[in-house]
Amino acid sequence: MNAPAADARFHDGTVRHDWTREEVRNLFALPFAELIYRAHSVHRAHFNPRDVQISTLLSIKTGGCPEDCAYCPQSAAYDTGVKAEKLMDVDAVLADAKAAKEAGATRFCMGAAWRSPKDKDLDAVCRMVEGVKALGMESCVTLGMLTAPQAAKLKGAGLDYYNHNLDTSPEYYGEIITTRTYQDRLDTLSHVRGAGIHVCCGGIVGMGERAEDRVGMIHALCTLPAHPESVPINMLVQVVGTPVSKGQAPDALEFVRTIAVARLTMPKSMVRLSAGREDMSDEAQALCFFAGANSIFYGPKLLTTPNPNEHHDHALLDRLGMRPMAV
Ligand code: SF4
Active-site residue, 126 included: no
**pLDDT tens digit at each of 327 positions of the chain:** 444 444 444 467 788 999 999 999 999 999 999 999 999 999 999 999 999 988 888 899 999 999 999 999 999 999 888 888 999 999 999 999 999 888 878 889 999 999 999 999 999 999 999 999 999 999 999 999 999 999 999 999 999 999 999 999 999 999 999 999 999 999 999 999 999 999 999 999 999 999 999 999 999 999 999 999 999 999 998 888 998 887 777 789 999 999 999 999 999 999 999 877 878 899 999 999 999 999 987 765 555 666 566 678 888 999 999 988 875
Q: Which of 60, 61, 65, 184 to mutate to test the pocket of ligand 1 (most atoms within 8 A of CB)?
A: 65
Active-site residue, 21 included: no
CA distance 53 to 196: 22
Active-site residue, 109 included: yes
Active-site residue, 222 included: no
| CB burial readout 183-198, b (16+ within 10 A) else e | ebbbbbbebbbebebb
CA distance 306 to 165: 20
Q: Specify the ligand 1 atom closest to the Cα of 68.
A: 5
Q: Specify the ligand 1 atom closest to the Cα of 303.
A: 7
Q: Is the CB of 144 under 6 A from ligand 1?
A: yes
CA distance 220 to 247: 24
Catalytic residue, from 38, 107, 200, 222: name it.
200
Could you please report the per-residue DSSP string of 86-144? PPPPHHHHHHHHHHHHHTT-SEEEEEE--SS--HHHHHHHHHHHHHHHHTT-EEEEE-S
Catalytic residue, from 107, 126, 140, 180: name it.
140
Tell me, yes or no, if the pTM score tops 0.85: yes
Q: Specify the ligand 1 atom closest to the Cα of 67.
A: 5
Q: Do β-strands 161-163 and 198-200 pair in parallel, antiparallel, or remain unpaired?
A: parallel
